Structure formats: C-alpha cells, structure tokens
Amino acid sequence: MVRNWAGGRCSMSAMVWSLLGFLLFLHLYSLVSHNGGKGGENKFHSSHHPLIHELEEVEEEHIQIPSPRDKRSPRAAKRRPKRTTTLIDEFLDENSQLRHRFFPDIRSVIDPANDAGNNSLYYHPGRIWLDTEGNPIQAHGGGVLYDERSKTYYWYGEYKDGPTYHAHKKGAARVDIIGVGCYSSKDLWTWKNEGIVLAAEEANETHDLHKSNVLERPKVIYNHKTGKYVMWMHIDDANYTKAAVGIAISDSPAGPFDYLYSKRPHGFESRDMTIFKDDDGMAYLIYSSEDNSDLHVGPLTEDYLDVTHFMRRILVGQHREAPALFKHQGIYYMITSGCTGWAPNEALAHAAESVVGPWETMANPCTGGNKIFRLTTFFSQSTFIIPLTGFPGSFIFMADRWNHADLRDSRYVWLPMIVGGPANRPLDLNFGFPVWPRVSIYWHRKWRLPSIWRV
C-alpha cells in the first residue's frame, strides 16, 4: 500500500500551526485580562491623583567617584586597588568621601516635631529619622501593622542602639540583642516611641533572647479569633547556626509581648523571614532556607502560633532573601533581595495566583537614580510593603540601608511603589502564562504621600 506522506506532512503542519494559533490567542487573552480588560489598569492610572503622577516621575543621580589620589583617609591612602573602585566599594568604605551621600549627617535630620509648612510629611530616604521625643527611630528590619480598633499604625523593628562588633574575626557585624522597638503613628510620618515591647534576656544564657544571640525581622499580625497580636521573628545564635523562628504574643499592639518558643519550621533552617495575612484571615510564613538557596512557604495554624505540616519550596535555587509580600487585585506579589550579607544587591519582583505558588520571577522593580542605584535597590534591602488606603495599586516600599560599620546608624529607605501599567514578562520565558502588571519602585530624594490621603 502506498502511503500519502505529503498529505501526512500537511496535516501535521496544520495541526502545529493551529496549536500555535491557539496558544497565541491564550497569550493575548491573558495579557488583556491581567491588564483589566479594556483599559482596566490604564483607566486606573489615568484617574490617579496628580501627586501619584508626581511620584512616578523619574529622578536621576549623578555621583562622581573620587580618584584614589584625592582620598584623604589613611586607610584609603595605603590602598592600591587592583581593580577600578565602584560605587558599592565607596558605600561599604566607612572612610569614603562619599559617605555623606549615603548616610547624611544630623544636619539634614527628619524631625516631625519641628518640621512644619513645606517640609511637613516629606520622606527623605537615607536621612536620620527622629521620633516625637527627638531620638533616632530604632526599628530596623521591621514591619508595620495597621490596628483597625485604634486606627493607628504600629512599626516594629530591631532596636539596635548598641555598639557594633564581630562575634569572631570572620563573623558578621552584629549588636547585642536589646529587643524589639515599637512606634505608633496616625500619618506614617510622625512616630511616637512605645518602648521596647519584647526585651532581651540579660541573665539566662540559654534563652533565645539572651543578648549574645540574634533577633531579626520581627513582624506582627492580629488574630481576630483569639484577640491576640502575634509576633514572628528570626532567632539565631551569634554564628547563625540555630536558624529558627521565634513566636511571641500580646493583648495589645503596644505590648508587652510574651515570648513563647522557637523552632525550625517544617524541620528546616529558617533565616530571613516574614509573615503575610491574607484577606480571608489565613496567615503564612515565608522564609529563606537550605543555605538560602530556596524560599519556603506554608500556612500558619488557626491561632497563628505555629506552622501547619504543609510546606512548599518556591524560587528554588535562586538564592533570594528579605521577602516582602503584598496583594493587589487578587494577585500576590513579593519583593526579594539577593544574598550578599550587609552589601546591597539587586531586588527582584515575583508574582503568583496563590501564596504557595508557583511564583514567577519578574524584573528588577527599581526605577530612577542611575544604573548602580537600580542594581543595589537604592543601596538598601527590602523589609515590608505598606498598602496606601484609598489608592489601589499604590504602596510604600520599606527598606533598610544597612551601615555595617555602625548598625545602629542604619537608615530607612521608604519609597513609593506602584502596580500597573505595561505588562511585565516573566524572566523565565517558557511561553509563560500569565503576564503580570508591572511593579515599579520610584527613586526620590524627597517625596510625600498624596495630600488627600487619610488613614
């Protein structure tokens, strides 16, 4: 029997082109649906308050690196670099002539108690930020809770007001645990010091909170069923070998918090971490694990005091840390950093239709400054995302500018973040669906919230 091979090839070709056409249709449908149909996101952006448009304007930075012969410090004078000095080198050099550009001195302080008129409510990323008592805010690696009952924001973070040292010659820079600082505010700019709401343990050397250990990245959520405020944090020893989470509870957002226990969630080491409470009341733990090669995510128990048995690995092999999650129009987003210790690196945005994934890695969300600013997340590291009430798609990106030479003088970088506009293709192109709205963090030397914004 003679086979009609030509006809078979034509049929196969037709099937392939039909399949490609179908996939292209799905791709276009996904693009339209994720951008809100006919102008969904674009319509939202056109209705932005003028100040939102102002926040989307790009500001550039031009910083000239001084030549080695112009340096004045003894350490710099002895140095004969074998490679070209970079802006990151200058940032990490506590004797750099550019130090004031990254860590402005007290003369440029943000002081809400004294600033009035045209200076009121303006954020200045990297400047010293004072509380209502005139002291620098100590809430590093922190997170913000909005308490619906008191209509108040509470900012929790590492209270690092102590000397910086190394546990051993090659150890990371650290300070003794003092505790978790807490500040309250009605406007996200003027912060009242509520004190240390979870204090270090001075005497008991076996306690997780003994001053010789590590307490990082505290985050607090409220449990409507139990009426408790629950704090999760990274607990470690001086050598970062314990790699656990710690849990504490309180009846009040302003504490004091009672420390309960620590554990390795799901039996795995946990370092940089955060918790996320969804609209339905479910809460999740997200943490860097397996030598920081992966992130793990899993739901908390109903009382938020433990993890359940379910866990999923995400961003496997991508070596990401400092996760900060938020939700917009039913889609989950996350900002992460790379793993380079105290040195700044490039942020990445990720998106998913479920907290437990699968997560798609998108582009670097940083906009403005200059190339090195974008590749270093504006010389900072993500810690939390604050949604702006009344402005869907608008957020505050919270980050820390770490001063490894003097950790208590680390600074806060708060910047506007907008979700929307042209779609952002995933970095891992596998003819991937879906296509997500773009996440953009805008650099500003000085900016403020829209004047009509209210808590």
Pairing type for strands 244-250 and 228-236 reads antiparallel
Tally the C-alpha atoms within 13 A of residue 258's C-alpha that lie toward its C-beta: 7
Residue 92 pLDDT exceeds 70: yes
Number of Cβ atoms within 10 Å of the Cβ of 329: 14
Residue 446 scores a pLDDT above 60:
yes
**Backbone phi and psi for residue 233, each to the nearest 5 degrees, phi listed first:** -155, 165
pTM for the full predicted model:
0.86
Q: Are 235 and 245 in contact (CB under 8 A)?
A: yes
CB 375 within 8 A of CB 124: no
Q: Is residue 36 part of a domain?
A: no
> Cβ(149)–Cβ(216) under 8 Å?
no
Residue 34, CA distances (Å) to 44, 213, 300, 342, 395 in order: 13, 46, 29, 36, 19
Cα distance between residue 164 and residue 172, in whole Å: 10
236 half-sphere exposure, CB direction, 13 A CA radius: 20
- Checking if the pLDDT of 7 tops 60, the result is no
Is the separation of the CB atoms in 300 and 275 below 8 Å? yes
- Assess if residue 24 is contained within a domain: no
* pLDDT for the residue numbered 208: 98
Q: Which amino acid is at 43?
A: K
How many CB atoms lie under 10 A from the CB of residue 19? 10
Instruction: Give the Cα separation of 410 and 94 in Å (integer).
Output: 12
Identify the weakest region by mean pLDDT among 70-79, 111-120, 140-149.
70-79
Q: How confident is the model at residue 391 (pLDDT cuts 50, 70, 90)?
A: confident
Residue 69 lies in a domain: no
Q: How far apart are CA 109 and CA 115, in angstroms?
A: 10
Six-digit token pair at 416?
Answer: 């506007």
Q: Answer whether residue 78 is part of any domain.
A: no
Number of domains in the chain: 1
Quick one: 291 exposed, middle or buried, by C-beta within 10 A (0-12, 13-18, 19+)? Answer: exposed
pLDDT interval class at 118 (50, 70, 90): low
Residue 410, CB half-sphere, CA atoms under 13 Å: how many?
A: 31
Asked if residue 293 belongs to a domain, the reply is yes
CB atoms within 10 A of CB 315: 23
Encode pLDDT of 201-251 as tens digits.
Answer: 999 999 999 999 999 999 999 999 999 999 999 999 999 999 999 999 999
The average pLDDT across 386-391 equals: 87
Write down the H helix ranges in 291-408: 371-375
Burial tier of 306 (Cβ tally within 10 Å: 0-12, 13-18, 19+):
middle
* pLDDT surpasses 80 at 102: yes
Q: Pick left, alpha or beta for residue 109 (phi over 0 → left; psi -120 to 50 → alpha; otherwise beta).
A: beta
User: For the purposes of burial, counting CB atoms within 10 Å of the CB of 166, is it exposed (0-12), middle (13-18) or buried (19 or more)?
Assistant: exposed
Residue 431 has pLDDT above 70, yes or no: no
Residue 7 within any structural domain of the chain: no
Looking at residue 402, which CATH number applies to its domain? 2.115.10.20
* Length of the chain (residues): 455
Give the number of other CB atoms < 10 A from CB of residue 131.
23
pLDDT digits (tens, 9 = 90+) for 408-429: 999 999 999 999 876 665 555 5
Domain membership flag for residue 37: no
First to last CA, the chain: 81
User: What pLDDT does residue 12 have?
Assistant: 55
**Cα 452 to chain center, whole Å?**
26
User: Strand ranges (DSSP E) for 206-272?
Assistant: 214-223, 228-236, 244-250, 258-263
Residues with Cβ < 8 Å from 358, sequence gap 6 or more?
314, 352
User: Rounded CA gap, 125 and 106, in Å?
Assistant: 14
Under a CB-based contact definition with an 8 Å cutoff, are residues 137 and 158 in contact? Answer: no
For residue 147, which phi and psi values (nearest 5 degrees)? -90, 110
Residue 287, Cβ density class (10 Å: 0-12 exposed, 13-18 middle, ≥19 buried): buried
- Which DSSP symbol is given to 358? P
So what's the pLDDT on residue 43? 35
Q: Supply φ then ψ for residue 325, to 5 degrees.
A: -105, 150
Residue 362 lies in domain: 86-448
Residue 194: predicted pLDDT: 98
Residue 33, domain member (yes or no)? no
Tell me the pLDDT tens digit for each residue of 342-351.
999 999 999 9
Q: Is 255 left (phi over 0), alpha (psi -120 to 50) or beta?
A: left
